[in-house]
Amino acid sequence: DAGITQSPRHKVTETGTPVTLRCHQTENHRYMYWYRQDPGHGLRLIHYSYGVKDTDKGEVSDGYSVSRSKTEDFLLTLESATSSQTSVYFCAIRDRATSSGTGELFFGEGSRLTVL
Amino acid sequence: QKEVEQNSGPLSVPEGAIASLNCTYSDRGSQSFFWYRQYSGKSPELIMFIYSNGDKEDGRFTAQLNKASQYVSLLIRDSQPSDSATYLCAWKAAGNKLTFGGGTRVLVKP
């Protein structure tokens, strides 16, 4: 258990409304990630963070913003939700590098967002 | 061109047989490769990682990496119905981001 909690787990909202998803971790990991998963596209990186207030864009960042004011929380915000943002969102943390130096990702349980 | 290519399947294998999954990647700078298993409605979980050319075995799973040909594969020996899932390959180049393929759905039939 990597100590990752996502909230909310399920949300239905309407087009044009703001939405914030929260990822909370309890083990002081430096790196945190937000991915979205859609049929046929696998997992695509939205944004990631490498420390408090240090974030960077992934491959599908348009329409999303993130914030990390504390080590344990990484927030993903959809400023004005669109139907194309209907997806399952996964938060992940990067474990401390193993002896091989790989540092694999561990995922939260996911947040299913439906934008009507 | 996608950075990581996987056959989406489904790959149907009889119980007890070997399931063979392949993944090709485009970045020759790739350093580490991962295989994740994802059950329907669940989050991905790591089952194997490999960073050196050749084979790496862990129980019924064997990962194979060929950097010259830019592919990584996963063999599941003695497939069980509980192995039915989607398998995602991922690679990590320089930096701290993982790129994922679309996943291969595996169905193990009793």
Alpha-carbon torsion A85, A86, A90, A91, what sign? positive
Chain B CB contacts of A109 under 8 Å are 42-43
Of residues B43, B51, B99, nearest to A108 (C-beta): B43
Which residue do the tokens 């990991």 mark? A29
Whether the CB of B6 is below 8 Å from some CB of chain A: the reply is yes
pLDDT tens digits for range B71-88: 999 999 999 999 999 999
Please tell me the predicted confidence (pLDDT) of residue A96.
64
Whether the CB of B46 is below 8 Å from some CB of chain A: the reply is yes
Distance from first CA to last CA of chain B, Å, rounded? Answer: 37
Residue from A49, A46, A36, A39 nearest A111 by CA: A36
Beta bridge partner(s), residue B33: B50, B91
Q: Which two tokens stand for residue B16?
A: 């007890």
User: A107 and B44 in contact (C-beta within 8 Å)?
Assistant: yes
pLDDT tens digits for range A48-107: 999 999 999 999 999 999 999 999 999 999 999 999 999 999 999 987 655 445 668 899
Q: In Å, how far is B16's CA from the nearest CA of chain A? A: 28
